[in-house]
Structure 1
Amino acid sequence: MEWDGASESFALDQRTPRGRSDPQGRGAFPVFLRLGAQHILSGWDHLAFLAALVLAARRLRSLLYVVTAFTLAHSVTLALAALELVDVSAFSGLVEIAIALSIAYVAADCLVRPRLARSRWIEAFVFGLVHGLGFAGFLRESLVREKAVGTALLAFNLGVELAQVALVSVAVLALAALPRKRDEEDPFLAPLLLRRLGAAAIVVLGLSWFVQRI
C-alpha cells in the first residue's frame, strides 16, 4: 500500500483479517509484542529446547547463565536477519534442520554428560544463534509495514523474551514444588528420573523433527 510516498505491508491471518493504515507506526509495538510471545508459546521446537536447558541445569544460577546466553545469541541473529543483513531465505531449510538437531543434541548431552554443566552456556549461545535465524524467518513474513522494522524488531524480541522468562519461571517453580529428598550427589533442579525420561523424550522429538525436515 502506498501512503504519502511511503509503502506499507500488512500480515493478515485468521485473528487479524483486516489491515488498518498506521503511517506513524504507533500500532506496531503491541502487535509484534503479541506475535513474539505467541511464536514462543506455539513453537513446539523452541519449547522443547527450553525444556532441555531446564532439565540440564544443576542450579538456578547456572540456568540463569544458560538462558541469558541463549537470549543474547538469538537476539543478535534475529536483528541481523530482520534488518536483512543476513538473508535467511537462502538457507531457511537448513536453519530448521539445525534447530531440530540442536534440540536432540542438548537433550542427549543432558543424558550422556549430565555433570559437564560449565559448557552448557556455550551450547546455549551457539544454538541460540541458530534459533534466532528461525525467529527471524517468521518475523520477516509477519512484518506489518516496511517502515516500522525497528519497532517491530524490538517488540517481537521483547515478546519472545517475556514468554521465555515466564515459561522458565513456571518450570523452575514446578520443579521446586516436587517432593524430593535433597541429595548432594545429585544437585540438579530436576529429579533424576524426570531428568532422564524428559531428556529421552526430547531426544526422540528432536530426531523426529530432523527426519521430517530433511
Structure 2
Amino acid sequence: MALASAVLRDRRGTGPWRLPVVFLFGLVHGLGFAGALGIEESRSWELLLSLLSFNVGIEAVQLGIIAVVFPLLLLLRRTPAHRWALPAMAAPIVIVSLYWFWDRLSVAA
C-alpha cells in the first residue's frame, strides 16, 4: 500500500484503486490470522477473546496516532514540501515491508 501511495497517485493524491487495495489487503490479512488461529479446534475459542482484545487495543492506538498525525499532514499539504514528503515517508515502509516479506518467504521454504 505504501508503494502504491507513492507511485499510483493522480493529481489529488488519491485514486479509484485505493479502497479495493485496502479491502483486499485486509481480507487476505484477516484470512491469514483465521487460518493460523484454526477456529475449528476447541482450544482456539479460548484464544478468540484474547485475539479480539488485542485487536481492539491495536485499533485504539492506531486511532490515537491518526488523531495526532492527521492534523500535521493537513498542515504539510499546504506547503510545497508535500510533493516529496509522501514518497519520503513511504520509502522506509516499503523497505521494511519487503524485508518482512522476504523473511517470511525464506522461513516458509
Q: TM-score, normalised by structure 2?
A: 0.63
Name the amino acid aligned to 1:126.
Answer: L
Query: Alpha-carbon deviations, 1:107-146, whole Å to 9, x = none?
Result: 11111123333331211111111111232244349xxx82
Name the amino acid aligned to 2:2.
Answer: A
- Equivalent position to 2:92, from 201, 207, 211: 201
Tell me the percent identity: 28
**Structure 1: stretches of 5+ with no match in the other structure:** 1-105
Measured after TM superposition, the shift of residue 184 of structure 1 is 9.6
Name the amino acid aligned to 1:197.
Answer: A
For the residues of structure 1 that align with 2:27 and 2:92, how far apart are their CA atoms?
Answer: 24
| Secondary structure of the structure 2 residue equivalent to 1:117 | coil
Residues 1:127 and 1:173: Cα distance change in structure 2 (over 3 Å): same
Measured after TM superposition, the shift of residue 185 of structure 1 is 9.3
Measured after TM superposition, the shift of residue 176 of structure 1 is 1.5
How many equivalent pairs are there? 101
- What's the counterpart of residue 146 of structure 1? 42
Task: Determine whether 1:213 maps to 2:104.
Answer: yes
Query: Alpha-carbon deviations, 1:23-49, whole Å to 9, x = none?
Result: xxxxxxxxxxxxxxxxxxxxxxxxxxx
Written as runs of structure 1 = structure 2, the 5 A alignment for 1:1-214 is 106-114=1-9, 115-140=13-38, 146=42, 149=45, 152-153=47-48, 156-177=51-72, 180=75, 183=78, 191-214=82-105
| Secondary structure of the structure 2 residue equivalent to 1:116 | coil
For the residues of structure 1 that align with 2:63 and 2:91, how far apart are their CA atoms?
Answer: 19
**Structure 2: stretches of 5+ with no match in the other structure:** none
Structure that is richer in helix per residue: 2
Name the amino acid aligned to 1:213.
Answer: R
Q: Is the 8 A contact 2:3 2:91 kept in 1?
A: yes
Residues 1:164 and 1:193: Cα distance change in structure 2 (over 3 Å): farther
Larger Rg: 1
Measured after TM superposition, the shift of residue 200 of structure 1 is 0.9
Q: Is the 8 A contact 2:2 2:93 kept in 1?
A: yes
